[in-house]
Structure 1
Amino acid sequence: MKKNYHGIIPPIVSPVDKDENIDEQGFRALIEYCIKGGLHGFLVAGTNGETMQLTQKERNNAIRICLDQVNGRVPVIAGVMDTSTRRVIENIKALEDMGGTCAAVTPIFYDRHTSQDETIRHFEQILKETSVELFVYNIPPFTGIKLTPDTVMKIADMDERVVGYKDSAAAYTDFLKMVGRYKDTSFSVLSGATPQALSGVLMGADGFVPALGPAFPEMFVSAYEAAKSKDVELTIQYDELIRESGKILGMSKNATAAAKYAISLRGHIDKRVMMPQDVILPEEEPRIKAKLEEVDAMYEELKKSVK
């Protein structure tokens, strides 16, 4: 059965100017670079996009620019996460006004969570008052609650507009339970835990959401295609390569700053992150640049060996 959301769908960063407003020119150039690199879609205004650091106006601006630049060529999932059901619905209404068709919804956060049922009620009300497709986004480090597979399945069964699940809980057994349940349906299951992602695709997952996708678009697409085609030996080689690239995220105190700097080395955006986050230190920059070049060279060698 056809899956509308599959492959490599990165959580695209939000390039900003010195006033912390979206750098529209840089953002459009980065999106175009990613599309030319073969990426299968975008998650805009997600965690890696510093969505909660942006003002509401600039969050909507990032979504608007992404939708306009993509112009229907690949799917766009927009982050609408917030601290209450009413706020999320208002965010989705703004998305609908911009012509967006899919929203990523987390449990609410900055809250004393009391049950899984509150998130079920959250989605029930959102579905009543909005018309877009929804992705269930499970990211417990930022929401304070880990959704169980049963909860996600209950939400998925509510309406055909619940079209997918992004798992950033990194609970592999739970993730595989979701993969097995929705393997032969139109419901998409994407991994937000990159170290587990290729093995997940081998097991039937529909794709993954790597923070460094915009830094290595062609490499991530090739890795996905190897796993999707069930080429185990090649997938193992790509897994090693992706784990090597993932070291970039640990080369700075702030993984978002590390990702943004690595992506900026491709020449389209500035490395700037938003206050009050830690920034890339001068001594960290050459180490990240060297690792990016090392991974590029490893990828070229792997391509030669495949030929």
Structure 2
Amino acid sequence: MSKKYIGSIPPIITPIDEKENVDEEALRQLVDRCIDTGQHGLFVAGSNGECLALTQKERDRAISIVLDQTNGRVPVMSGVMDASTRRVIDNIKALEQMGGTCAVITPVFYARHATQDETVRHFEEIARHTDMDLMIYNIPPFTGQTIKPKTIFRIAEIDNVVGYKDTTSSFIDFQSCVEHFKGTDFALLQGSTLLSAASMLIGADGFIPSMAPLFPEPFVKCYEYGRAGDIERTMKCHALIEEICGIFPLAKSQTASTKFAISRLGFLNKRVCQPTEPTTPEQEAAIIAAIETIEEKIAALD
């Protein structure tokens, strides 16, 4: 059994300049930071990366930079999400030209979803146009559709669909998927960070934590302890992860709070794409205080 997409795979932010173009040097440093601190893969051009706030040109540029800087050191999952099947296929063709090997796909959005069947057809048609690895991405607040477990099972029968990122926060549905895919090569990734520890303990293959670039150790250890079935140490990691997730609501926008927090690494800007509400000085002070407390607790983590 061989799975490519496992472990702590951060959905990296996209550093931008004052014109909302990709800050290439900062993005390259962020890639190196993730790899050097033990992350098992990268997810570029996801919702945390403001993929649909960027222009298509800059979105493609972000993906190209990440693929180039990674240079095969870890697997890269690239977001190709879009509003129609043809648009996704076009995004995948561009990704193929960049050397990408894994495309992350949601149901189409800005649409009135009629049935689960339309999402099955969406993946079937995409698969006819590429041999690339395809990853199912279930994020109902952004797409207007929750992909049900039985639909996941149907889509997984397509040869080049290799895994599933679940950001529904429905642990019951995720459990159903873990049971269904037990003993297979199909990768199950938890997209709701607060469910990372519990998901690992029931057999998940990894998770997608947006704060891992800033706090790598709790996430790497959560994966290692969870995979080993060490409940006590996994739950110690969960306690830290819970505090880390407490940073998100300290600003009006989770994107803004995440970007400001990660900007504390010192090599990238906190800037967010318009019209996202930026952090205020008061919010930033609260985030800095939270970071300092968390760092003290991480230092005591065994």
TM-score, length of structure 2 as denominator length: 0.99
SS of residue matched to 1:107: coil
Which residue in 2 is equivalent to 1:117?
117
1:302, distance to aligned residue in structure 2 (A): 1.9
Quote the Cα distance in structure 1 between the aligned partners of 2:281 and 2:22.
24
Which residue in 1 is equivalent to 2:158?
158
Quote the Cα distance in structure 2 between the aligned partners of 1:250 and 1:199.
22
Which residue in 2 is equivalent to 1:300?
299
Does 2:257 correspond to 1:258?
yes
SS of residue matched to 1:129: coil
Quote the Cα distance in structure 1 between the aligned partners of 2:285 and 2:151.
45
Which residue in 2 is equivalent to 1:14?
14
Q: Which amino acid aligns with 1:196?
A: L
Which residue in 1 is equivalent to 2:130?
130
Quote the Cα distance in structure 2 between the aligned partners of 1:217 and 1:35.
10
Which residue in 2 is equivalent to 1:186?
185
Quote the Cα distance in structure 1 between the aligned partners of 2:22 and 2:217.
25
Pick which of 104-113 and 215-224 moved more.
215-224
The within-5 A match list for 1:274-289 is 274-289=273-288
Question: Any conservation in 2 of the 1:39–1:218 contact (CA below 8 Å)?
Answer: no
The within-5 A match list for 1:1-307 is 1-159=1-159, 161-303=160-302
Question: Any conservation in 1 of the 2:104–2:136 contact (CA below 8 Å)?
Answer: yes
The C-alpha deviation readout for 1:163-183, integer Å capped at 9, x for no partner, is 000000111011011111112
1:222, distance to aligned residue in structure 2 (A): 1.3
Q: Which amino acid aligns with 2:92?
A: I
Q: Where in structure 1 do 4 or more consecutive aligned residues deviate above 4 Å?
A: none
Quote the Cα distance in structure 2 between the aligned partners of 1:37 and 1:87.
35
Q: How many residues align?
A: 302
Question: Any conservation in 2 of the 1:226–1:235 contact (CA below 8 Å)?
Answer: yes
SS of residue matched to 1:18: coil
1:141, distance to aligned residue in structure 2 (A): 0.3
Quote the Cα distance in structure 2 between the aligned partners of 1:240 and 1:251.
18
TM-score, length of structure 1 as denominator length: 0.97
Quote the Cα distance in structure 1 between the aligned partners of 2:268 and 2:219.
20
Quote the Cα distance in structure 1 between the aligned partners of 2:146 and 2:205.
21
Quote the Cα distance in structure 2 between the aligned partners of 1:46 and 1:195.
18
Consecutive unaligned residues in structure 1, runs of 5 or more: none
Q: Which amino acid aligns with 2:22?
A: I
Question: Any conservation in 2 of the 1:183–1:205 contact (CA below 8 Å)?
Answer: no
